[in-house]
Structure 1
Amino acid sequence: MQPFRLHFGAAAALALAAGALLPAHAQNVIKIGEVNSYKAQPAFLEPYKKGMELAVDEINAKGGVNGKKIELITRDDNANPGDAVRMAEELVSREKVDVLAGAFLSNTGLALADFAKQKKFFYLAGEPLTDKMTWQGGNQYTFRLRPGTYMQAAMLVPEAVKQKKKRWALVYPNYEYGQSAVAAFKNLLKAAQPDVEFVTEQATPLGKVDAGSVVQALADAKPDAIFNVLFGADLSKFVREGNTRGLFKDRTVVSVLTGEPEYLDPLKDEAPDGWIVTGYPYYGVKTPEHKAFLDAYQAKFKDYPRLGSVVGYSMIKSAAAGIAKAGSTDADKLVAAFKGLQVDSPFGKITYRAEDHQSTMGAFVGKTKNEGGKGVMVDYVYYDGADARFQPPAAEVKKSRSAD
């Protein structure tokens, strides 16, 4: 019997040792669960994913966060809010992630924000731009990185006013982001230029623009200027048809996002001249923090970054900074840590505002130029999101978040 007991004891000891390794491994990892529309929006989200990967590599190479390595687990939401929530549920319940992050489309972002509110689970939104993410309907557990539609409209409106155009046409994708962007632009432009008229609105199905009929409808309205919110493949079709029919000739065009390389590059020799845009002129940003990011990105991927790259990178860096400050991944401790959190980004230092959970990341505003058959941004300036000109009044923010 003695030999059997010894053998059994050794086996038990080995089993116990193996079991002890499992929680130890789990305790040494911080899991970030990220949900996004990878298949539906590859132009932005492939560079975005690379930006996240670069940030994870840099963080882990320095020992991780609070002695733990970062692990990134991604899921595709099929550009569908219901699928986004299902993926979030899977990440939280099955994968046991510590924080949620991501979303590109505003409708999926709002679905994840509501999930975070209901589950009291921390969620860091990188990209969804609707103002409802942080203002109307903003909630305690949701923070956002990128400047939203109000902020970007507020950066564009002064340039629009300088054009002294009275009759404006509007074209936008008919879902949460497009509706939010147009509402902000109309309100801000009307306040700055009371005699302005909005002569037509063309609200198109996302990803299914009928460019010919849209361009004809805009031309028939005889506007002096156009505010465009289309992006991706819809933008390319709109620009091509507009060029063909002369829609943009002698007309001011103000356009959100068009200066981002992921949307400007595909236009190639069809890229328009002189549009007033928000974007990302990676080739001309000479600050030390951007140069460090650009060099690291190009060394790893042998490619230049897009705006998505900056968003993915800065989002993961923000999550890591928040976890380090909290000393925990507990949702309520993370919420407290993120209020006033400062993070170094490729665009300089940003702060997550305590009052509305919106980061002060800014945007570049400039003009498009067709330079040798390729679209670039020129005459650009970086507007800091911390500037009060680009934020709604504090009383309005407080009122809109009264349900917090």
Structure 2
Amino acid sequence: MTSSLGAASDEVIHAVSVIATKRGGFELSDAQIAWVVDGFTRGEVAPEQMSSLLMAIYLRGMNRREIATWTRAMIDSGRRMDLTGLRRDGRPLTTVDKHSTGGVGDKITLPLTPLVASFGVAVPQLSGRGLGHTGGTLDKLESIPGWRAEVSTEEMFAQLEQVGAVICAAGADLAPADRKLYALRDVTGTVESIPLLATSIMSKKIAEGTGALVLDVKTGSGAFLPDESDARELASTMVELGHDAGVDTRALITDMSVPLGLAVGNAVEVAESVEVLGGGGPADVVELTLALAREMLDAAGLPDADPASHLANGRAMDSWRSMIAAQGGDPDAPLPVARHQEVVTADRDGIVTDMDARAVGDAAWRLGGGRSKPGESVSAEAGVIIHAKPGDPIRAGQPLFTLHTQDEERIAGARSSLDGAFRIEDGGTDRRGAGDRPLILDSVRFTR
């Protein structure tokens, strides 16, 4: 990448010149980045202009300095929260957060947040809406009757002190540049850009004010970054950004070649999360929940805590119920059920040897579980239930998937997404369908 830092200091900056700089493969100067992020936030840079710049960044990339500058500009577009004053029984509360880059069936935030909070740690989980083929945590939780994603800063602080856990939308004044860019990336085919992913995630988390951060960076067919080397680059970039900002940041790189759990959608993922909090649930969801909980508790100064014990003794469930009720939700209310369901069956006997996570995510999206433009509503009822995963035996005519939707006309599109999404063979025992590929591939810590 060629530098543009030698440009004259009195150069007039405007949107077209910034786009042209990056389109030509040159570095953006600090002044250009600060100007364009501020201008877009205030509405002086039009969405179509920012869309062009996002595509140029997607194609041309950004270096370490540009990424750091873009992150600071997004943080500076709003205010920073200060969580250091949180207290319980007169003692300061340690804060730790988690962020996932998103995957198919990735409902881990739902059981993880109350689980970690049940150990007396404050978990300020600022979450987002669905992006591309992956579901959004807020979309999932809004399937609980009465639950609300929008809480004031005062309500958030009070809930952290009283309950210890909050999952909510970021306030409009917290990295507002990212709020606008997040929606634009979703509909312009620029979600998978490593610089844009890193700056989006870290600007919110640094502005949030958490003391420590654990990242779940996914790779595989159902992730935004299917190539593992890209996932490692993203993890390292974000860990460095966090460290530079004084936030204890670490990452796990996890497999997303197969959907997590057996439920993909909104209400169906909430139901599966409650199973995990009750001491059950699919083994892979439990494994990742516990692995991330151990990292978070270690970062919070509790390296010997046993998160599995709080799934078994009900403390995590108590924390969940308190968290949902604090945001107006009824933890005992039945979750919405789709009007239309259709079963996809196996066409032969054998062993399920592969399952494409991306295809399953696309099917849930087509059933109404995701959005194709900013602000579009999603269906709480939409989703896919998986009945057999790689390694499972199956007979002809047995269910492979059940499709859930409010709109029967969506079923054909979902079925087409699942065509070729799985393999059934005469033999094979690999449960993850990737050559004994583990769920947790590696961990990343800061080194320099």
TM-score by length of 2: 0.25
- Which structure dedicates a bigger proportion of its chain to strand? 1
- Which structure dedicates a bigger proportion of its chain to helix? 1
TM-score by length of 1: 0.27
